[in-house]
Amino acid sequence: MKIPFLFTLVVSVALIVTVPTQAQIQTAKVTGGTVEGLVNDGIASFKGIPFAAPPVGELRWKSPQPVIPWKGVKKTVEFAPGPMQDLNMGVSLGGPQKISEDCLYLNVWTGAKESGEKRPVMFWIYGGGFGAGRNSFPKVDGTNLARKGVVLVSITYRVGPLGFLAHPDLTKESGKGSGCYGIQDQIAGLKWVKENIARFGGDPNNVTIFGESAGGISVGMLATSAKAKGLFQKAISESGGNMMPPRATLKQAEEQGKAYLEKLGANDIKAARALTADEIQKDTRGFGNFWPVTDGETIADNAYGQFEAGTFNDTPILVGTNSNEGALFVRNTVTSEAFVQMIRARFPQNADEFLNVYPHATDAEATVSQRDIMRETAFAWPTWAWANLASEKGKSNVFVYYFDHRGSAASKEGANHTDEIPYVFHTLSVPGPEALATPENNAMSDMLCSYWVNFATTGDPNGAGLPVWTKWNSKDQQAMVFDKNSGSRTIPNQDKLKVFDAYFSRLRAQAKTQK
């Protein structure tokens, strides 16, 4: 019996309409073996791909070693555990539920249908004060960035004492230095991308590193690391930067690491490697107790000096901070009197300059100013200094932003630390304390997401339908201010940044005279 042509046409059209577009890359041969991911609505995700050997046993406190090959096809459909960390701190960030010393895995999202597409690659580095962090937060799911045409990679790196403990024994072992294993993990992940990302439709020669907080600081460290040279072509730092003076010399960090292990009953590295990961981790509390060490190899020198000397990885950068970063860290009321005392004790040589730009007539003003001091010290000044030096000493484009979008009740006084993340990843619909997926917020997310992807693609965030984002230079200092009237203009805290710049300039001059 003949099937009527019209019926055939209707069935064919129905099949075209109802069958979702499928990414054809569901398996890939990578360093170590073959991996198989999941495909959902045109986006393939691969979760838990090993990029190095497990850093356990004798490999604890060593630079990442080559991945151990596997046989057959490895199902990469679930996130691997996060790194060992203070669980209380992790819970404050929304998790993680699973942690392990065996943590060197990465994740890939791609919409490519074949390996030769050469899509731009975005390489995400999480924050967490170098003491916590993970990639399985729904807010950093890579699906929607991949839907906009990039290949998204997120990497797990060691944190806390397992990532950043320095010790004389470890320095002797390596013959170079110690205390920078987490940054070395990031570099190993970038090398994996260089060797493997083409199989996911990515361009290994168009990689943008981006991260927030400690992740943004990591981006700043990679920007000055000779070990990372050529592994990325663009950099985005959200609430990061790395221009502050080093926290400690290698020798100081070694002594701190030695004292830490002795508290645990380990008088040498052999005894420390015999301890469980939980025992190593148990005495860490709070953010920033362990920090990447200027080991002389991975991090060779202070970043400010390297930029002044022109010895940095000169790539386009997009960097910025949020308006109310300090609210997360300064939660108590600060009295006007206490604020003045703090300023005079902390900045004795130019206290009046600080008091002139930070309002403090009332306790309410003093509290806001204390938060802003935190914003400038930890995030805004390092970012501002980076932008100025990069524009003066480098040849690449520099773009700066100031995120002041107040899209929730929690951000009514300004954009808090981490607020921009779900806007960048376009994950506002993720369940949370309040609904963020409003029309106004979605429009802001569309804007940020587009700028970030445009920058990753070409090194310039500008594109059709977007407000013009003026390039930064140290004279005009025009930044993109994200608020109800988003556009390029002077950042609101510029006067405060100039006072901090004078303060740090004085510190650098004093340090030179003491050498």
464 contact partners, CB below 8 Å, separation of at least 6: none
Measured CA to CA, the distance from residue 212 to residue 214 in angstroms comes to 6
Domain 43-315 CATH class label: alpha beta
78 contact partners, CB below 8 Å, separation of at least 6: 47, 48
Backbone angles phi, psi at 215, to 5 degrees: -65, -40
pLDDT of residue 111: 97
Backbone angles phi, psi at 433, to 5 degrees: -60, -30
**Which pTM does this prediction carry?**
0.94
Q: What is the pLDDT along the chain (515 residues), one digit of tens a residue?
A: 344 433 333 333 333 333 344 558 999 999 999 999 999 999 999 999 999 999 999 999 999 999 999 999 999 999 999 999 977 665 655 545 799 999 999 999 999 999 989 999 999 999 999 999 999 999 999 999 999 999 999 999 999 999 999 999 999 999 999 999 999 999 999 999 999 999 999 999 999 999 999 999 999 999 999 999 999 999 999 999 999 988 999 999 999 999 999 999 999 999 999 999 999 988 776 566 899 999 999 999 899 999 999 999 999 999 999 999 999 999 999 999 999 999 999 999 999 999 999 999 999 999 999 999 999 999 999 999 999 999 999 999 999 999 999 999 999 999 999 999 999 999 999 887 788 999 999 999 999 999 999 999 999 999 999 999 999 999 999 999 999 999 999 999 999 999 999 999 999 988 888 76
pLDDT of residue 512: 81
What is the domain partition of the chain in residue ranges? Answer: 43-315
pLDDT of residue 346: 96
Measured CA to CA, the distance from residue 116 to residue 18 in angstroms comes to 28
By annotation, the residues acting in catalysis are 213, 325, 417
Angle of helix 336-346 versus helix 363-375 axis, rounded to 10:
30
